[in-house]
Amino acid sequence: MSIENEKNAPMPGTVQFDIVPRAGGPAWRIFLRIPTSEMPKDGWPTLYMLDGNAVIGTAVDAVRVQAAYPLATGVREAALIAIGYPTDDAYDGVRRSWDLGPPPGASYPPFTPDGPEVKTGGADAFLAFIEEELKPEIARRLTVDPKRQAIFGHSFGGLFVLHMLFNRPDAFANWIAISPAIWWEDAVVKKGMAGFAANPRPARVLLAAAEYEQTLAPFQEHQSDREARLARLTVSRGLDDTHEMAAWLAALPGVHAECVVFEGETHMSVLPVAVNRTVRFAFGPDAP
């Protein structure tokens, strides 16, 4: 047996680059997939994804496999823009806590004795970066259909998606919040609901949660931290909050909201299946 030409396997059709914001500070790493097929007359539909390091590989495969067989899947070609951090890890926990947490925010001690302090509350600055710096850079690289832009977030990312929906509702047409941490900071994100309800904008919203967001999965029942884990799930109300938010949004004029529960999944294992459903929601047969 011989092994030849071994090298890192890149994601097909995807480039990455780092953007340092105009105000200075650390860079964000952007993963960009631009289709090579013929562009629609109005430009490419786009999906912006938070926690980009963790989701871009799954998203690229979901789009390139399904868009190649549109009669079987209903999924059309599209551009992907995943926002992550300059790391090979799936997450940068410290930076994402700041970027995705709505204000006013708070500080938390290290989760481990030698870990860093975690701060939250930078969501408005991150929102401004997306709108004022990232979107213009993407528009410089490809023609975008402004009526078919979507944003996806999971957990803290889902919380950010809802915060952005309530505060910059014209930024996207399609909003996907998976397992959103609505409970965070005494449900601070709900403070934006009244303003949005007073002037609702047309929007398609997908909310989703895992089956085991409020109860333990069978494999967790006999783990040593069973009671502490169950207590956290009870406080976070992942299923109940997601259902209630979807129902509230669906009652607003011009808002299409749906809620999905992914059977057999936990808060973390839900990510790959949720990415696939997101692709269908954003680019499938029912999308505009």
Active site residues: 155, 213, 267
For 192, the token pair is 């934006």
CA–CA distance, 190 with 122 (Å, rounded to integer): 17
CA–CA distance, 39 with 142 (Å, rounded to integer): 10
Instruction: Say which residues have a Cβ less than 8 Å from residue 78's Cβ, sequence separation at least 6.
Output: 35, 44, 45, 46, 47, 63, 67, 282, 283
Other beta carbons within 10 angstroms of residue 89's beta carbon come to 10
CA–CA distance, 266 with 152 (Å, rounded to integer): 18
Q: What is the DSSP letter of 11?
A: P
224: helix, coil or strand?
coil
CA–CA distance, 55 with 82 (Å, rounded to integer): 8
Other beta carbons within 10 angstroms of residue 251's beta carbon come to 11
For 104, the token pair is 């006013």
E strand spans, 100-143: 107-108, 118-119
CA–CA distance, 237 with 183 (Å, rounded to integer): 7
